[in-house]
Protein backbone atom coordinates (compact mmCIF):
# COMPACT_ATOMS: atom_id res chain seq x y z
CA UNK A 1 0.00 0.00 0.00
CA UNK A 2 2.87 2.36 0.88
CA UNK A 3 4.63 1.62 -2.39
CA UNK A 4 1.45 2.39 -4.31
CA UNK A 5 1.08 5.73 -2.51
CA UNK A 6 4.72 6.58 -3.17
CA UNK A 7 4.35 5.74 -6.83
CA UNK A 8 1.26 7.96 -7.04
CA UNK A 9 3.12 10.87 -5.46
CA UNK A 10 5.98 10.28 -7.92
CA UNK A 11 3.64 10.41 -10.90
CA UNK A 12 2.03 13.63 -9.63
CA UNK A 13 5.38 15.31 -9.06
CA UNK A 14 6.73 14.21 -12.41
CA UNK A 15 3.60 15.55 -14.11
CA UNK A 16 4.04 18.87 -12.28
CA UNK A 17 7.68 19.08 -13.35
CA UNK A 18 6.72 18.35 -16.96
CA UNK A 19 4.12 21.14 -16.80
CA UNK A 20 6.80 23.52 -15.51
CA UNK A 21 9.01 22.62 -18.49
CA UNK A 22 6.17 23.45 -20.87
CA UNK A 23 5.51 26.77 -19.12
CA UNK A 24 9.17 27.77 -19.34
CA UNK A 25 9.34 26.82 -23.00
CA UNK A 26 6.14 28.67 -23.81
CA UNK A 27 7.43 31.80 -22.06
CA UNK A 28 10.59 31.59 -24.14
CA UNK A 29 8.88 30.93 -27.46
CA UNK A 30 10.83 32.20 -30.47
CA UNK A 31 8.77 33.12 -33.47
CA UNK A 32 9.96 31.75 -36.81
CA UNK A 33 10.20 35.28 -38.15
CA UNK A 34 12.85 36.25 -35.56
CA UNK A 35 15.24 33.33 -35.82
CA UNK A 36 18.97 34.11 -36.13
CA UNK A 37 20.28 34.84 -39.61
CA UNK A 38 21.88 31.42 -39.91
CA UNK A 39 18.46 29.76 -39.98
CA UNK A 40 15.74 29.96 -42.68
CA UNK A 41 13.65 33.10 -42.30
CA UNK A 42 10.01 33.10 -43.40
CA UNK A 43 10.06 36.91 -43.67
CA UNK A 44 12.72 36.60 -46.38
CA UNK A 45 10.72 33.89 -48.15
CA UNK A 46 7.39 35.74 -48.00
CA UNK A 47 8.01 38.08 -50.97
CA UNK A 48 9.67 35.26 -52.89
CA UNK A 49 6.49 33.23 -52.68
CA UNK A 50 3.86 35.95 -53.16
CA UNK A 51 5.11 38.58 -55.62
CA UNK A 52 7.79 36.74 -57.54
CA UNK A 53 7.66 35.59 -61.20
CA UNK A 54 9.87 32.68 -60.11
CA UNK A 55 7.76 31.60 -57.11
CA UNK A 56 6.56 28.46 -58.94
CA UNK A 57 10.10 27.09 -58.61
CA UNK A 58 9.23 26.13 -55.03
CA UNK A 59 7.12 23.30 -56.47
CA UNK A 60 10.24 21.81 -58.07
CA UNK A 61 12.20 21.36 -54.86
CA UNK A 62 13.58 17.83 -54.68
CA UNK A 63 13.65 17.24 -58.44
CA UNK A 64 16.68 15.42 -59.81
CA UNK A 65 18.01 13.71 -62.91
CA UNK A 66 15.40 11.54 -64.64
CA UNK A 67 12.37 13.38 -63.24
CA UNK A 68 9.66 14.86 -65.43
CA UNK A 69 7.58 17.56 -63.79
CA UNK A 70 5.54 20.47 -65.04
CA UNK A 71 7.50 23.68 -64.55
CA UNK A 72 10.98 22.32 -65.23
CA UNK A 73 10.79 23.88 -68.69
CA UNK A 74 10.29 27.31 -67.12
CA UNK A 75 13.26 26.75 -64.83
CA UNK A 76 15.30 25.82 -67.91
CA UNK A 77 14.27 29.19 -69.36
CA UNK A 78 15.68 30.81 -66.20
CA UNK A 79 18.96 28.89 -66.51
CA UNK A 80 19.17 29.79 -70.19
CA UNK A 81 18.54 33.49 -69.53
CA UNK A 82 21.46 33.63 -67.11
CA UNK A 83 23.77 31.65 -69.35
CA UNK A 84 23.71 28.20 -67.78
CA UNK A 85 21.91 26.56 -70.71
CA UNK A 86 21.95 27.42 -74.42
CA UNK A 87 18.71 28.60 -75.99
CA UNK A 88 16.50 25.72 -77.17
CA UNK A 89 16.93 24.62 -80.79
CA UNK A 90 14.28 25.87 -83.28
CA UNK A 91 13.19 22.27 -83.91
CA UNK A 92 11.66 22.23 -80.43
CA UNK A 93 9.48 25.23 -81.21
CA UNK A 94 11.90 27.29 -79.12
CA UNK A 95 10.52 25.83 -75.89
CA UNK A 96 12.22 23.73 -73.25
CA UNK A 97 10.64 20.44 -72.20
CA UNK A 98 9.90 19.38 -68.61
CA UNK A 99 12.52 16.62 -68.46
CA UNK A 100 15.31 16.81 -65.90
CA UNK A 101 18.01 15.74 -68.33
CA UNK A 102 21.81 15.58 -68.15
CA UNK A 103 22.22 19.13 -69.52
CA UNK A 104 19.98 20.49 -66.78
CA UNK A 105 21.85 18.55 -64.12
CA UNK A 106 25.17 20.03 -65.31
CA UNK A 107 23.67 23.53 -65.50
CA UNK A 108 22.48 23.26 -61.89
CA UNK A 109 25.91 21.99 -60.80
CA UNK A 110 27.54 25.04 -62.39
CA UNK A 111 24.96 27.35 -60.78
CA UNK A 112 25.57 25.79 -57.37
CA UNK A 113 29.32 26.13 -57.82
CA UNK A 114 29.03 29.80 -58.76
CA UNK A 115 26.88 30.60 -55.73
CA UNK A 116 28.87 28.57 -53.22
CA UNK A 117 26.09 26.03 -52.66
CA UNK A 118 26.47 22.30 -52.16
CA UNK A 119 27.14 20.91 -55.63
CA UNK A 120 24.52 18.17 -55.87
CA UNK A 121 23.11 18.69 -59.36
CA UNK A 122 19.67 18.48 -57.75
CA UNK A 123 17.04 21.10 -56.96
CA UNK A 124 17.57 21.01 -53.21
CA UNK A 125 15.81 23.66 -51.06
CA UNK A 126 18.82 26.00 -50.78
CA UNK A 127 19.27 26.03 -54.57
CA UNK A 128 15.58 26.66 -55.23
CA UNK A 129 15.51 29.49 -52.68
CA UNK A 130 18.55 31.14 -54.29
CA UNK A 131 16.95 30.84 -57.74
CA UNK A 132 13.82 32.63 -56.47
CA UNK A 133 15.87 35.53 -55.08
CA UNK A 134 15.56 38.96 -56.75
CA UNK A 135 18.62 39.59 -58.87
CA UNK A 136 20.40 41.51 -61.58
CA UNK A 137 19.38 40.67 -65.13
CA UNK A 138 22.95 40.42 -66.42
CA UNK A 139 23.89 36.82 -67.16
CA UNK A 140 26.39 34.94 -65.02
CA UNK A 141 27.76 33.15 -68.09
CA UNK A 142 28.19 35.14 -71.32
CA UNK A 143 29.10 33.43 -74.61
CA UNK A 144 30.17 30.36 -72.66
CA UNK A 145 32.43 32.34 -70.32
CA UNK A 146 31.46 32.54 -66.65
CA UNK A 147 31.52 36.01 -65.12
CA UNK A 148 31.61 34.40 -61.70
CA UNK A 149 34.67 32.72 -60.24
CA UNK A 150 34.40 28.93 -60.13
CA UNK A 151 36.00 28.61 -56.70
CA UNK A 152 33.53 30.48 -54.53
CA UNK A 153 34.42 28.32 -51.53
CA UNK A 154 38.08 29.42 -51.44
CA UNK A 155 38.43 31.95 -48.63
CA UNK A 156 40.79 34.91 -48.92
CA UNK A 157 40.78 34.90 -52.69
CA UNK A 158 39.51 37.74 -54.88
CA UNK A 159 36.53 36.48 -56.86
CA UNK A 160 35.66 39.56 -58.93
CA UNK A 161 35.32 39.09 -62.69
CA UNK A 162 35.08 41.03 -65.95
CA UNK A 163 32.98 40.72 -69.05
CA UNK A 164 34.51 38.56 -71.81
CA UNK A 165 37.35 40.53 -73.37
CA UNK A 166 37.58 42.78 -70.28
CA UNK A 167 35.99 45.88 -71.90
CA UNK A 168 36.50 49.18 -70.09
CA UNK A 169 36.26 52.89 -70.68
CA UNK A 170 39.41 54.36 -72.30
CA UNK A 171 42.06 55.15 -69.69
CA UNK A 172 42.29 58.64 -71.16
CA UNK A 173 38.62 59.24 -70.28
CA UNK A 174 38.57 59.97 -66.56
CA UNK A 175 35.30 61.95 -66.51
CA UNK A 176 32.02 60.27 -67.46
CA UNK A 177 28.66 61.99 -67.79
CA UNK A 178 25.34 60.32 -67.07
CA UNK A 179 21.77 61.36 -67.87
CA UNK A 180 18.53 60.21 -66.24
CA UNK A 181 16.44 59.89 -69.37
CA UNK A 182 13.27 57.87 -68.67
CA UNK A 183 11.37 58.66 -65.48
CA UNK A 184 7.70 58.75 -66.50
CA UNK A 185 7.21 55.13 -65.38
CA UNK A 186 8.30 55.82 -61.78
CA UNK A 187 6.68 57.92 -59.06
CA UNK A 188 10.03 58.98 -57.58
CA UNK A 189 10.63 62.68 -58.17
CA UNK A 190 13.54 63.83 -60.30
CA UNK A 191 15.42 65.59 -57.50
CA UNK A 192 15.41 62.44 -55.36
CA UNK A 193 16.59 60.34 -58.29
CA UNK A 194 19.49 62.73 -58.87
CA UNK A 195 20.54 62.42 -55.24
CA UNK A 196 20.35 58.62 -55.23
CA UNK A 197 22.36 58.15 -58.42
CA UNK A 198 24.92 60.77 -57.38
CA UNK A 199 25.58 58.82 -54.18
CA UNK A 200 25.76 55.54 -56.11
CA UNK A 201 28.33 56.86 -58.60
CA UNK A 202 30.32 58.42 -55.74
CA UNK A 203 30.85 54.96 -54.24
CA UNK A 204 32.92 54.04 -57.28
CA UNK A 205 34.69 57.39 -57.80
CA UNK A 206 35.95 57.26 -54.21
CA UNK A 207 37.92 54.11 -55.03
CA UNK A 208 39.08 54.93 -58.58
CA UNK A 209 40.46 57.69 -60.77
CA UNK A 210 37.05 58.18 -62.41
CA UNK A 211 34.67 61.10 -61.90
CA UNK A 212 30.96 61.20 -62.72
CA UNK A 213 28.73 64.19 -63.49
CA UNK A 214 25.02 64.32 -64.25
CA UNK A 215 23.99 66.03 -67.47
CA UNK A 216 20.59 66.85 -68.92
CA UNK A 217 21.85 66.51 -72.50
CA UNK A 218 21.21 62.80 -73.04
CA UNK A 219 21.43 62.99 -76.81
CA UNK A 220 24.61 65.03 -76.74
CA UNK A 221 27.42 64.39 -74.30
CA UNK A 222 26.01 61.68 -72.01
CA UNK A 223 28.20 58.58 -71.79
CA UNK A 224 25.65 56.76 -69.62
CA UNK A 225 21.85 56.83 -69.79
CA UNK A 226 19.58 55.70 -66.94
CA UNK A 227 15.89 54.91 -67.25
CA UNK A 228 12.91 53.10 -65.73
CA UNK A 229 11.10 50.72 -68.06
CA UNK A 230 8.44 48.03 -67.97
CA UNK A 231 8.22 44.71 -69.80
CA UNK A 232 9.65 44.79 -73.32
CA UNK A 233 11.55 48.03 -73.81
CA UNK A 234 13.60 47.60 -76.97
CA UNK A 235 16.84 45.96 -75.84
CA UNK A 236 15.81 42.31 -75.98
CA UNK A 237 15.93 42.02 -72.17
CA UNK A 238 12.30 42.32 -71.06
CA UNK A 239 11.48 42.99 -67.42
CA UNK A 240 9.17 40.64 -65.53
CA UNK A 241 7.28 42.69 -62.95
CA UNK A 242 7.90 42.93 -59.17
CA UNK A 243 11.05 41.16 -57.95
CA UNK A 244 12.55 38.63 -60.36
CA UNK A 245 14.90 40.71 -62.51
CA UNK A 246 15.39 44.12 -60.89
CA UNK A 247 17.62 45.90 -63.40
CA UNK A 248 20.37 45.39 -65.97
CA UNK A 249 23.23 47.36 -67.45
CA UNK A 250 25.52 46.88 -70.41
CA UNK A 251 29.30 46.61 -70.48
CA UNK A 252 31.57 49.50 -71.58
CA UNK A 253 31.24 51.53 -73.60
CA UNK A 254 27.54 50.94 -74.26
CA UNK A 255 26.39 52.97 -71.26
CA UNK A 256 22.77 51.81 -70.96
CA UNK A 257 21.34 51.22 -67.47
CA UNK A 258 17.71 50.12 -67.18
CA UNK A 259 15.57 49.54 -64.06
CA UNK A 260 12.28 47.66 -63.82
CA UNK A 261 9.63 50.32 -63.20
CA UNK A 262 7.35 47.69 -61.59
CA UNK A 263 9.54 47.33 -58.50
CA UNK A 264 8.55 48.85 -55.16
CA UNK A 265 11.60 51.11 -55.20
CA UNK A 266 12.65 52.85 -52.00
CA UNK A 267 14.72 55.96 -52.66
CA UNK A 268 14.82 57.40 -49.15
CA UNK A 269 14.47 56.32 -45.57
CA UNK A 270 15.17 52.93 -44.05
CA UNK A 271 14.25 50.23 -46.56
CA UNK A 272 14.36 47.60 -43.81
CA UNK A 273 11.34 49.32 -42.24
CA UNK A 274 9.40 49.60 -45.49
CA UNK A 275 5.78 48.46 -45.30
CA UNK A 276 5.96 46.53 -48.57
CA UNK A 277 7.46 43.05 -48.28
CA UNK A 278 8.86 43.42 -51.80
CA UNK A 279 10.48 46.84 -51.24
CA UNK A 280 13.82 47.21 -53.04
CA UNK A 281 16.51 49.75 -52.17
CA UNK A 282 17.22 51.84 -55.28
CA UNK A 283 20.72 52.95 -54.32
CA UNK A 284 21.84 49.38 -53.60
CA UNK A 285 20.76 48.22 -57.06
CA UNK A 286 22.26 51.32 -58.68
CA UNK A 287 25.70 50.73 -57.13
CA UNK A 288 25.66 47.17 -58.48
CA UNK A 289 24.61 48.14 -62.01
CA UNK A 290 27.20 50.92 -62.18
CA UNK A 291 29.80 48.21 -61.58
CA UNK A 292 28.59 46.59 -64.81
CA UNK A 293 28.69 49.92 -66.65
CA UNK A 294 32.36 50.16 -65.67
CA UNK A 295 33.22 46.62 -66.78
CA UNK A 296 32.80 44.37 -63.75
CA UNK A 297 30.98 41.06 -64.06
CA UNK A 298 29.37 39.21 -61.20
CA UNK A 299 31.28 38.12 -58.11
CA UNK A 300 30.91 34.89 -56.16
CA UNK A 301 31.60 36.79 -52.90
CA UNK A 302 28.22 37.11 -51.21
CA UNK A 303 29.22 40.29 -49.37
CA UNK A 304 30.41 42.01 -52.56
CA UNK A 305 28.36 44.66 -54.34
CA UNK A 306 28.75 42.64 -57.54
CA UNK A 307 27.08 39.52 -56.11
CA UNK A 308 24.08 38.87 -58.42
CA UNK A 309 21.24 38.67 -55.86
CA UNK A 310 19.89 40.94 -53.14
CA UNK A 311 17.10 40.35 -50.62
CA UNK A 312 14.12 42.69 -50.59
CA UNK A 313 14.07 45.32 -47.80
CA UNK A 314 17.89 45.17 -47.66
CA UNK A 315 20.40 47.99 -48.08
CA UNK A 316 23.82 47.09 -49.49
CA UNK A 317 25.79 50.06 -50.81
CA UNK A 318 29.37 49.80 -49.48
CA UNK A 319 32.04 48.40 -51.77
CA UNK A 320 33.72 45.25 -50.47
CA UNK A 321 37.42 44.51 -50.90
CA UNK A 322 36.57 42.26 -53.84
CA UNK A 323 34.81 45.13 -55.64
CA UNK A 324 37.65 47.56 -54.94
CA UNK A 325 40.43 45.27 -56.15
CA UNK A 326 38.45 44.46 -59.29
CA UNK A 327 37.67 48.05 -60.25
CA UNK A 328 41.13 49.36 -59.39
CA UNK A 329 42.68 46.71 -61.60
CA UNK A 330 40.79 48.30 -64.49
CA UNK A 331 41.15 52.00 -63.73
CA UNK A 332 43.74 52.44 -61.02
CA UNK A 333 43.18 53.56 -57.46
CA UNK A 334 42.25 56.92 -56.03
CA UNK A 335 45.21 58.05 -53.90
CA UNK A 336 42.74 59.58 -51.42
CA UNK A 337 40.77 56.37 -50.99
CA UNK A 338 40.60 55.48 -47.31
CA UNK A 339 39.97 51.80 -47.82
CA UNK A 340 36.99 49.56 -47.31
CA UNK A 341 34.81 50.06 -44.26
CA UNK A 342 33.71 46.68 -42.88
CA UNK A 343 29.95 46.50 -43.08
CA UNK A 344 27.10 44.09 -43.63
CA UNK A 345 23.82 44.51 -45.51
CA UNK A 346 21.09 45.99 -43.33
CA UNK A 347 17.76 44.20 -43.18
CA UNK A 348 14.93 44.10 -40.64
CA UNK A 349 15.63 40.42 -40.06
CA UNK A 350 19.24 41.03 -38.97
CA UNK A 351 18.17 43.70 -36.49
CA UNK A 352 16.13 41.09 -34.59
CA UNK A 353 18.64 38.25 -34.73
CA UNK A 354 20.38 39.13 -31.44
CA UNK A 355 17.14 39.09 -29.47
CA UNK A 356 16.15 35.82 -31.13
CA UNK A 357 19.43 34.19 -30.21
CA UNK A 358 18.90 35.21 -26.59
CA UNK A 359 15.39 33.80 -26.64
CA UNK A 360 16.65 30.53 -28.02
CA UNK A 361 19.26 30.38 -25.26
CA UNK A 362 16.59 31.02 -22.61
CA UNK A 363 14.38 28.33 -24.11
CA UNK A 364 17.17 25.78 -24.01
CA UNK A 365 18.06 26.76 -20.42
CA UNK A 366 14.44 26.47 -19.33
CA UNK A 367 14.11 23.07 -20.92
CA UNK A 368 17.17 21.62 -19.25
CA UNK A 369 16.25 23.23 -15.92
CA UNK A 370 12.85 21.57 -16.06
CA UNK A 371 14.36 18.21 -16.92
CA UNK A 372 16.82 18.54 -14.05
CA UNK A 373 13.98 19.41 -11.67
CA UNK A 374 12.00 16.35 -12.72
CA UNK A 375 15.05 14.12 -12.29
CA UNK A 376 15.73 15.61 -8.83
CA UNK A 377 12.18 14.99 -7.66
CA UNK A 378 12.31 11.42 -8.87
CA UNK A 379 15.61 10.87 -7.07
CA UNK A 380 14.29 12.35 -3.83
CA UNK A 381 11.26 10.07 -3.84
CA UNK A 382 13.38 7.02 -4.42
CA UNK A 383 15.05 7.41 -0.98
Annotated binding site: which residue ranges?
A: 136, 223, 233, 235, 240-241, 248, 258, 260, 263, 288, 292, 298, 306
Rounded-to-integer distance, Cα 231 and Cα 189, Å: 22
Residues in contact with 49: Cβ distance below 8 Å, sequence separation at least 6, in sequence order: 55, 58, 132
Rounded-to-integer distance, Cα 109 and Cα 127, Å: 10
**What phi, psi does 245 have (nearest 5°)?**
-80, 120
- Selected catalytic residue, list 68, 214, 289, 302: 289
Rounded-to-integer distance, Cα 115 and Cα 367, Å: 38
Residues in contact with 17: Cβ distance below 8 Å, sequence separation at least 6, in sequence order: 370, 373, 374, 377
Rounded-to-integer distance, Cα 230 and Cα 247, Å: 10
Beta bridge partners of 99: 68
* Helical pair 190-205 and 282-293, crossing angle rounded to 10 deg: 50
Return the ∠ at Cα 51 (arms to 49 and 53), rounded to 5°: 85
Say if residue 242 is exposed, middle or buried (CB neighbours under 10 Å; 0-12, 13-18, 19+).
Answer: buried
**Which residue spans within the chain are E strands per DSSP?**
141-142, 145-146, 175-182, 211-214, 224-229, 247-249, 256-260, 264-266, 279-281, 314-315, 346-347
Q: How far is CA 228 from CA 9, 15, 76, 154, in A?
A: 74, 65, 27, 37
Binding residue ranges for Ca(2+): 223, 240-241, 260, 263
Is position 289 annotated as part of the catalytic site? Answer: yes
Q: How many residues does the chain have?
A: 383
Q: How far apart are the first and last CA of the chain?
A: 17
Concatenated DSSP letters of 86-128: PPPPGGGTT---SB--HHHHHHHHHHHHHTT----SS--HHHH
DSSP designation for 340: P
Beta bridge partners of 141: 146
Q: Tell me which residues are annotated as active site.
A: 289
Amino acid sequence: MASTSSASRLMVLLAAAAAMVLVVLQASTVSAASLPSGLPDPDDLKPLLSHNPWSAFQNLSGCHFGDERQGLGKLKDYLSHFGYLPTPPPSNDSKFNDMFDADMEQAIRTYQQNFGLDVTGQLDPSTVTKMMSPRCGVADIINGTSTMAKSASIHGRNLYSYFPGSPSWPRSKKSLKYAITATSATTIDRATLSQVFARAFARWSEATTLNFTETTDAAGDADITIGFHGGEHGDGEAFDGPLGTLAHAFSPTDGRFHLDAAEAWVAGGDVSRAKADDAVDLESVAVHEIGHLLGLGHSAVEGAIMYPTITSRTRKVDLASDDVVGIQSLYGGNPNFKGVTPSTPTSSREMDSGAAAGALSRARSGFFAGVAMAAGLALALSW
